[in-house]
Structure 1
Amino acid sequence: MSIEVGTIVSGKVTGITNFGAFIDLGDRKTGLVHISEISDSYIKDINDVLSVGDEAKVKVMTIAADGKIGLSIRKAQENSDEGSQPQREHKPAPRSTSSYNKPREDRPSYNKARDSRDRAPQGRDNKKDNSFDSLMSAFLKDSDDRLTSLKRNTEGKRGGRGGRRN
């Protein structure tokens, strides 16, 4: 059986690395399925999907001049009429329950200056005065306020001699 680009062949997984799996195609030919070509979904650990000795249908994607064969399991599944699933189903890692993923109102407030960014700058009424000049002056004032509070908070944390600088 000759191996040509575009054909779908059956093979056996002979080795697994962190970047893909080696598939024995018979006739002393071995090809590599890159981890990105195993499934349409993200795979963190290839061992969750494949193991040595598994049978797999693969599509021949490339054959290099030096004899290296590039294979794809996911494209072989797209072309097959059965739509067969891989031997093991990939289960994504559970989502973290950290406060980073929670909406802002559910998170504890650690920095009052950060929460003040969500509100409109003081002294500005959003309904009445929306000319460009007034918006720009309000923005500049708010920006200056943020910069001074940022400088005040970070200046004491600098190392070196002389302590605080003005």
Structure 2
Amino acid sequence: MSIEVGSKLQGKVTGITNFGAFVELPGGSTGLVHISEVADNYVKDINEFLKVGDEVQVKVLNVESDGKIGLSIRKAKEAPPSPEQRRPQKRGPRKDDHGRPQRSMSFEDKMNRFLKDSEERLASLKRNTESKRGGRSTKRG
């Protein structure tokens, strides 16, 4: 039996390691379900989810040239998204800093606004640091 990437198959767990589980597939071939592909949430101990002899449905992730087969249990369970989930969310108009709807700005407008804001911030920073150091007009002596 030819094993193709993306196909869902029924298999039997034949061995468990600390990094995953080996699953025997129809036709006698064996693939590996990595521990990260066992469940949707974090799996610390794979023995909490699988036991040798369990029948599991797996999805073929990859078949390498040397015969290694990568499998996933969690992707075999995934249902296709419903039409409501696939539809992009409608967003309202973007708001500016004051909560007003923002009009689309040209690149030049955006650049001018950035430069103005940047100069204001630099001036404020300079004022604050000079007052703490004594500024330029202060005589030392």
CA distance, structure 1, for counterparts of residue 9 and residue 57 of structure 2: 6
What's the secondary structure of 2:25's corresponding residue? strand
Equivalent residue number for residue 66 of structure 2: 66
138 and 63 in structure 1: CA distance in 2 versus 1, 3 angstrom threshold: farther
What's the secondary structure of 1:26's corresponding residue? coil
- Displacement, 1:79? 4.1
In the alignment, structure 2 segments of 5+ residues that lack a partner are 81-122, 134-141
Equivalent residue number for residue 18 of structure 2: 18
- Displacement, 1:48? 1.1
- Displacement, 1:51? 1.1
Q: State the TM-score, normalized to the length of structure 2.
A: 0.57
Match of 1:133 among 122, 126, 130: 126
Matching residue's letter, 2:33: V
Equivalent residue number for residue 92 of structure 1: none
Task: Using the aligned pairs only, state the percent identity.
Answer: 59
CA distance, structure 1, for counterparts of residue 19 and residue 57 of structure 2: 19
- Displacement, 1:2? 2.6
Equivalent residue number for residue 53 of structure 1: 53
- Displacement, 1:28? 1.9
CA-based RMSD: 2.3
Matching residue's letter, 1:56: V
What's the secondary structure of 1:56's corresponding residue? strand
* Segments of 4+ moved more than 4 angstroms: 137-140
CA distance, structure 2, for counterparts of residue 137 and residue 24 of structure 1: 74
Equivalent residue number for residue 30 of structure 1: 30
54 and 138 in structure 1: CA distance in 2 versus 1, 3 angstrom threshold: farther
Equivalent residue number for residue 99 of structure 2: none
Q: State the TM-score, normalized to the length of structure 1.
A: 0.49
How many residues matched?
A: 91
- Displacement, 1:137? 6.0
Q: Counterparts of 1:91-106 in structure 2 under 5 Å? A: none
In the alignment, structure 1 segments of 5+ residues that lack a partner are 81-129, 141-166
